[in-house]
Amino acid sequence: MTTVLIADDQPMQRFGFRMLLESQDDMTVVGEAGNGTEAIDLITRHQPDVALMDIRMPGLDGIEATRHIIRSGSRTRVLIVTTFDLDAYAYDGLRAGASGFLVKDAQPEELLSGIRAVAAGDAVVAPSLTRRLLDAYAQHLPAAAPGSPPAAVLDPRITALTDREREILTVIGQGWSNAEIATRLHLAESTVKTHLTRILAKTGCRDRVQAVILAYDTRLVTPS
């Protein structure tokens, strides 16, 4: 049974989510919050598998709530649900530690599969959309000082990787799916998944989205 918290300042939106989730045999809603502070309190109390987190809420917003939840070491994974496909707040949410985001007008099947994926430890942002998002986000990264070594050379999270793991992290950052990596690098897809698991463990990334952000932050990947 996947336990879910709903955080949204619109009562009708919360009601709609609850009706959908509780129609599923494998999901149950453990609480509803109208702002980020309430969400943090309920997550601390119930430790749900997934928190559906709106961004724009009164008081403490969904970004700050997500940041607090991740820093606290909570087992709860955050799935941001936003009104806008490429809302700038979505970038901040991913950097705060969310495991992905969906738009509120997504099909019910997309929301349900997204919750199940996040609960299983996966990310919910499609690789191609991840690349679009982070290309936009990366425009705001500070420029490297002239003559300074690449950030990846200095970052211990990157230097801990093998050459193959660094190669796979790079192409993950470029938006390749596991199947594409397997085909283009002539690997079994199970081998790709093993490499990804090791990359996440060595870098401390929670999921694929956080690994992509690391690839951008260390400039293994640059905007297209």
The pLDDT of residue 212: 84
The pLDDT of residue 137: 61
Question: Would you give per-residue pLDDT tens digits along the chain (224 residues)?
Answer: 999 999 999 999 999 999 999 999 999 999 999 999 999 999 999 999 999 999 889 999 999 999 999 999 999 999 988 776 555 676 778 888 888 888 787 789 889 988 998 898 777 765 555 666 666 666 666 555 555 555 556 789 999 999 999 999 999 888 788 889 999 999 999 999 999 999 999 999 888 888 888 888 888 887 66
Measured CA to CA, the distance from residue 105 to residue 118 in angstroms comes to 19
Q: Residue ranges of the domains in the chain?
A: 2-124, 138-217
The pLDDT of residue 110: 85
The pLDDT of residue 151: 58
The pTM (predicted TM-score) of the whole model is: 0.71
The pLDDT of residue 29: 97
Can you name the CATH fold of 2-124?
Rossmann fold (3.40.50)
Length of the chain: 224
The pLDDT of residue 64: 95
Is CATH 1.10.10.10 the right assignment for the domain spanning 138-217?
Answer: yes
